């Protein structure tokens, strides 16, 4: 029987770190526009399909999170809205919108760095995978968490410093 | 004390029906591209800011739901990502992604037509307002439900008809 969902091989530890490093690189680019540093990458069978970063302030758009930008670019590149064979790497746990986008795009696996107890939708604030929706991605949190959290902490510390001056 | 969230006056029944009719008009346009007919409109203080419709198949993009298209256009038009004074009208109950986008954009009120027991995020499948996120829009479901559901039922009946031939 032909399987409906293609079997994209799971990445090994080296590959995971390589792709998350790419997402971290994207996150650092956010600092140029004063955006909260969050980056993402979409990967298909070991090949990078698309990257994205948070540009909410730069683009003045509530929808421009790292994940949505990367998913949008991946759909464009692969000319289809079903990203069944794709994994998403993102430096911060996805919010409700992005987790919903991941479900809608049928992303196979999600790897995230820092946890988000205020808005995270994969266990931080709630778990979208427990809601009985039509698709449930595999999820691994805490990948290169220290690097991802460090970027965010430095950003917010600098922001507080500027505000207090 | 200055209120953080602007007091945008609530629409009356006539206004609600007028704006939902506009969303229904958008939904009908989906039929041209074979997309599931869902339409949306963003309204600020009685003025239409932006409209949107589902173009997932047309644009081959998992993110192109009616609500995200309307919110994106509204952010562009108002040059800001905080739509505090805006209401969203949509013919079908928003999914997790779109409800998350509504939260992220700080939309004040949501009016939807047909309920979605499979994926609806305002009570249909789950209630995003019960998750303790940073923003909770006011929600009214079932507005012009018959018209909105009728469009969807006709669409899926035609689709089944084509498949069975």
Note the pLDDT tens digit of each residue in B90-111. Answer: 999 999 999 999 999 999 999 9
Is residue B9 predicted with pLDDT exceeding 50? yes
Least Cα distance to B11 among B87, B114, B106 occurs for: B87
Which chain A residues are closer than 8 Å to B99 by Cβ?
96-97, 100
Q: What is the pLDDT of residue A164?
A: 66
Is residue B1's pLDDT more than 60?
no
Q: How far apart are CA A137 and CA A124, in angstroms?
A: 16
Residue B162: pLDDT above 50?
Answer: yes
B138-159 average pLDDT score: 96
pLDDT score recorded for residue A8? 78
Q: Tokens 């305002």 correspond to what residue? A: B122
Average pLDDT over residues B18-26: 98
| A73/A99 Cα distance (integer angstroms) | 17
ipTM of the complex model: 0.93
| Distances in whole angstroms, Cα of residue B121 to Cα of each of A10, A118, B87 | 31, 19, 17
Q: Taking 70 as the threshold, does the pLDDT of residue B6 lie above it?
A: no
Q: Look at residue B2 in the predicted model and tell me its pLDDT.
A: 45
Q: In Å, what is the CA distance from A117 to each residue of A53, A73, A124, B136?
A: 20, 28, 4, 17
With CA atoms as reference, the chain B residue closest to A56 would be B81
Query: Cβ A100–B100 below 8 Å, yes or no?
Result: yes
pLDDT for position B5? 53
What is the rounded distance in angstroms from the CA atom of residue A42 to the CA atom of residue A80? 14
Q: How far A29 CA lies from chain B's nearest CA (Å)?
A: 20
- The whole-number average pLDDT for the span B6-22 is 91
Collect the ranges in chain A with pLDDT lower than 70. 1-6, 163-165
pLDDT of residue B7 exceeding 90: no
pLDDT at B75 (0 to 100): 97
Please tell me the distance from the alpha carbon of residue A110 to that of residue A141, in angstroms, as a whole number: 8
Please report which residue ranges of B4-144 form alpha helices under DSSP H.
13-29, 56-59, 66-78, 96-104
Tell me, rounded to whole angstroms, the distance of Cα B107 from its chain centroid: 11
Enumerate helices (H) and strands (E) in chain B, giving the number of each. 5, 5
User: What is the Cα–Cα distance from B48 to B21, expressed in whole angstroms?
Assistant: 12
pLDDT above 80: residue B113: yes
Active site residues of B: 67
A-chain residue closest to B63, CA distance: A101
Q: Which of B60, B101, B133 sits opposite A80 (nearest CB)?
A: B60
């Amino acid at each position: 029987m032909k399987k409906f969902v293609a079997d994209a091989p799971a990445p090994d530890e080296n590959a995971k770190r390589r792709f998350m490093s790419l997402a971290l690189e994207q996150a650092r680019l956010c600092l140029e526009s004063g955006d909260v540093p969050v980056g993402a990458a979409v990967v298909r069978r070991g090949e990078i399909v698309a990257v994205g970063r948070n540009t909410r302030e730069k683009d003045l758009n509530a929808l421009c999170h790292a994940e949505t930008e990367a998913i949008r670019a991946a759909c464009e590149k692969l000319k289809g809205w079903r990203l069944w064979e794709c994994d998403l790497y993102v430096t911060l746990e996805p919010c409700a919108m992005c987790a919903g986008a991941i479900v809608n795009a049928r992303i196979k696996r999600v790897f995230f760095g820092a946890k988000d107890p205020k808005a995270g939708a994969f266990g931080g604030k709630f778990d979208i995978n427990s809601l009985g929706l039509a698709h449930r991605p595999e999820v691994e949190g805490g990948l290169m968490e220290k690097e991802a959290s460090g970027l965010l902490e430095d950003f917010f510390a600098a922001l507080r410093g500027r505000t207090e001056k």
